[in-house]
Structure 1
Amino acid sequence: MITEIEDGMAARAFYLRNYRVPFTFEQIDSANQEKRILPGPKPLRCRFCDRGEPAVTFRDVAHAVPESIGNRRLFSAYECDTCNRFFGSGIENHFGNWSKPHRLLGGRIGKKGIPTLKGGGQTGWRIGRKGNRFEMVAGENADDRPFTPSEDHHVLVLTLPRDPYVPINVLKTFVKMALSVMPDDEFAHFGETRDWLMGEATDGEFIRNPSGEWVVATSTLADSFAIHLLTRRPDAPDRVPYSFLLLSYGIQRFQVNIPCPARDEMCEVDVPIELPPFPWPGAAGDLVHAGELDLSGCERMTGDKAQVTYRFETVEITEPVQSRAAGGQAD
């Protein structure tokens, strides 16, 4: 399991002695930052289905990380159009439904802009965002609203509904991101992982090692995200999983175990692995939540909700049922 937050220096030393970073990318300013296209083999073969032209084509732009979290600059040349559409209409839809509430709160600009949440029909509630400003319509039915305000409306407890999703497909999306960015010499170890990703079976037993999630109070810039791949050093002194994906966007940070049966043999014992949380730079003093991320479920989730308490610096209320709030942060 992931232990409680430890001293940042100790956690940093743990990861430095056990892991290397074969891939790293940070999008800081998508308007001015150059695109990075991860090159494929010549002749081109798809990394995921292992087919090449003319059996498949490579005409579409393949985002190495979903566009929904704000990716505008990181692409791959080795994902064929067929697999691109397979992921986009499949597991990435589940990821989109699961991540939508936090993408709204973090101001993530996807293909269709920042997500909006609403419910209760034409006279119901609505939560949207423009830049750093939230716009909320309370709706006529007070019992139906997914938020509870303090008396002065400066603090809101938000219980935001998620559209239906299957947890293991959300996890597969994280794994797909990692497989998309890893160098060829690392990808060679992940054949079983690729087969699990592409297979129809949603086997939660394939995932044996812990992953973690952090929620922080202050969102990263709306146009930024960071992705890093960790793999175990050959001389790692501790018993640790082979690989992790680190992903940061909005108000969330993730440390997701990437299963690698070919390299996780040291983990095949009935003794839990305890890991210090990854010491995300700048997040320790702003931490709202840290804990294990369990996405091993194979059943369709309906009625699931994400809860966050938000504190707003300024609030503007328009009667009778519409309220607007601006300049907030997670609490």
Structure 2
Amino acid sequence: MERENMVSETPPSGTVAVPSEPTIGQLLGWFYERYDFITRANFGPGAQEEELHLGAGEPRICRYCDKGAPDVSFDQKAHALPGLIGNQWLFDLRECDQCNALFGATIDAHFGRWSAAWRAIERTPNREGASPKYSAHDGAVQIESDDLNQMTIVEGMSEGGRYTIDPEAKTVEFKLTRRGFAPSSVFKCLVKMAVAVAPPEACESLKHLKAWIRGDEESTEAFADVLLVLSMQTRPDVYAPGRFEYQLLRRKPDAPTDSPHMFFRLRFGGRAYQIALPLLAEDAGQPRDKIPNLPMLPADKAALSDPTQPSVPIKRENMSSSEIEGREDIVLRYGMGALQELEPSQFQPLASRGGKR
């Protein structure tokens, strides 16, 4: 498995504290003083493009329900990270068919609905490498890519101010309506990814998370008052479709305990996502009544070329609710290059649908 050095080997000096508007170097200093990378990897074009199977050589016991044959089966090919982020290479031999079906119908489905709009616009391929599609909750807007280099917008984008183009600023803004999702299920999906890739020495700390992401009633009650915060950065101009990466960080034994014990970071498409894993024992003393102003790893390798530049702004969302949300307009803004007007007949893959282009 190819592993990339996300940061330089020597932390910058004098960068322990993180100010309100940190530079890239100050962020790296904060993480290097406090955390170790316990696993990280990159998959896709220009990185790992051969299948990797987690749990190879280990007993065929499901890491989520602790069951083996004949109580459960292992006939399906379980994606360690969801196929909808472009994962065609990383699989888990220790995820049983029953847990795989449960996650696919619950937390993976919510993550998919939550992220569908920008996955389609940013051309994130699915597990088969096919072009992504998006359909709004009200059915008024559909987006489909005919390949990984060209995007086609169909049916409804011209009605009701669904998109705005600013030629001078070279930006295009989309107003889209998502299908409903439960924020806590989206968060659980990210937790499940962290559990899948965690090395054996970290599994004991993550043990209590497994019942929670499976929906165990007792665990759900234990997490009822836990604040679930998702941090996200957007850099759609610097990342290739079809590539994803992750890092799992653990706090050093001698580091201050005023920050979370473990972080998980995922990047695909034009976004990076970061969560602090909700470890009830290790982080028991930390406040749970407000969203913490925690730093986030730099969004991409290109940002590391100049450690003095300011970090990419972070958007933080409270994902604690288990109620269905999201059936409202969201605004996605992108930079663009040259603007070229095309005839509908040029969109051959969609010609048979008869939709508006």
> Is TM-score (shorter-chain normalized) higher than 0.5?
yes
Q: 1:43 to 1:13 in 2, by over 3 A?
A: same
TM-score by length of 1: 0.84
* CA deviation after TM superposition for structure 1 residue 254, in Å: 0.9
The residue correspondences of 1:85-164 to structure 2 (distance < 5 A) are: 85-111=101-127, 113-118=130-135, 125-129=141-145, 130-137=147-154, 139=156, 142-143=159-160, 146-150=162-166, 155-164=171-180
Q: Which moved more, 1:275-284 or 1:44-53?
A: 275-284
1:233 to 242, 252, 255: 252
Contact 2:245/2:266, CA 8 A, preserved across alignment: yes
What SS class does the counterpart of residue 233 from structure 2 fall into?
Answer: strand
- 1:118 Cα deviation (Å)? 4.2
Q: What pairs up with 1:239-258 in 2 under 5 angstroms?
A: 239-258=258-277
Which residue of 3, 6, 14 corresponds with 2:30? 14
Q: Residue 137 of structure 2 contacts residue 178 of structure 2 at CA under 8 Å; is this kept in 1?
A: no
Letter aligned with residue 274 of structure 2: Q
Structure with higher strand content: 1
RMSD: 3.3
After alignment, is 4-13 or 80-89 more displaced? 4-13
Deviation per CA, 1:171-225, whole angstroms, max 9, x where unpaired?
1100100011111221111222222111255666453364311011414111211
1:50 to partner: Cα distance: 0.7
Query: Can you list the C-alpha shifts for 1:213-240, whole angstroms capped at 9, x where unaligned?
Result: 1011414111211011011111113521
Q: TM-score with structure 2 length normalisation?
A: 0.79
Residues 140 and 321 of structure 1 are in contact (CA less than 8 Å); yes or no, is this contact kept in structure 2? no
Seen in structure 2, the aligned counterparts of structure 1 residues 260 and 59 have a Cα distance that, compared at 3 Å, is: same
Work out which of the residue numbers 293, 298, 301 in structure 2 matches 1:279.
Answer: 298
Tell me the secondary structure at the aligned position of residue 171 of structure 1: helix
Q: Secondary structure at the match of 2:279?
A: coil
Q: How high is the sequence identity, in percent, across the aligned residues?
A: 26
Amino acid in structure 2 at the alignment position of 1:282: A
1:260 is matched with 279
Provide the C-alpha distance between the structure 2 equivalents of 1:321 and 1:82, rounded to a whole number of angstroms: 46
CA-CA distance at 1:134 after TM superposition? 2.0
User: Of 273, 298, 323, which aligns to 1:299?
Assistant: 323
Greater Cα offset, 243-252 or 147-156:
147-156
Equivalent position amino acid for 1:127 in 2: I
50, 53, 66: which one pairs with 1:37?
A: 53
CA drift at 1:142: 2.1
Q: 1:117/1:197 Cα in 2 relative to 1: closer, same or farther (>3 Å)?
A: closer
Distance change (3 Å), C-alpha of 1:92 and 1:217:
closer
Report if aligned partners of 1:190, 1:260 keep a CA contact under 8 Å in 2.
Answer: yes
Tell me by how many angstroms 1:49 deviates. 0.6
2:202 alignment partner, one of 186, 190, 209: 186
Tell me which residue corresponds to 1:313. 337
Distance in 2 separating the partners of 1:228 and 1:120: 33
Change (3 A) 1:287 1:232: closer
Instruction: Please state whether the residue corresponding to 2:144 is helix, strand or coil.
Output: strand
1:296 Cα offset (Å): 1.2
Alpha-carbon shift at residue 26 of structure 1 (Å): 0.5
**C-alpha contact 1:190 1:262 (8 A) present in aligned 2:** no
Distance of aligned partners of 1:115 and 1:208 in 2 relative to their CA distance in 1, 3 Å threshold = same
Task: Give unpaired runs (5+ residues) of structure 1.
Answer: 324-331
Aligned-residue offset at 1:167:
0.8
Partner of 2:242: 223
User: 1:223 & 1:89 partners in 2: Cα distance?
Assistant: 23
Q: What residue in structure 2 maps to residue 329 of structure 1?
A: none
1:84 aligns with 2:104: no
Q: For residue 306 of structure 1, what is the amino acid of its counterpart?
A: I
Partner of 2:73: 57
Rounded to whole Å, the distance in 2 between the matches of 1:315 and 1:33 is 34
**Partner Cα separation in structure 1 for residue 58 and residue 316 of structure 2:** 41
Judge conservation of contact 2:172–2:335 (CA < 8 Å) in 1: yes
Per-residue deviation, residues 122-149 of structure 1 (Å, max 9, x unmatched) = 9x64432232322223649722x52123
CA distance in 1 between partners of 2:126 and 2:303 (Å)? 24
Other-structure match for 1:174: 190
2:352 is matched with which residue?
none
8 Å CA contact 2:54, 2:93 repeated in 1? yes
Unaligned runs of at least 5 residues, structure 2: 1-17, 348-357
SS at match of 2:302: coil
Contact preservation (8 Å) 1:106, 1:220: no
Indicate how the Cα distance of structure 1 residues 264 and 118 shifts in structure 2: closer, same or farther if over 3 A, else same. Answer: closer
Distance 2:253 2:341 in 1: 59
Q: 1:286 to 1:307 in 2, by over 3 A?
A: farther
Q: Which position in structure 1 is the counterpart of 2:354?
A: none
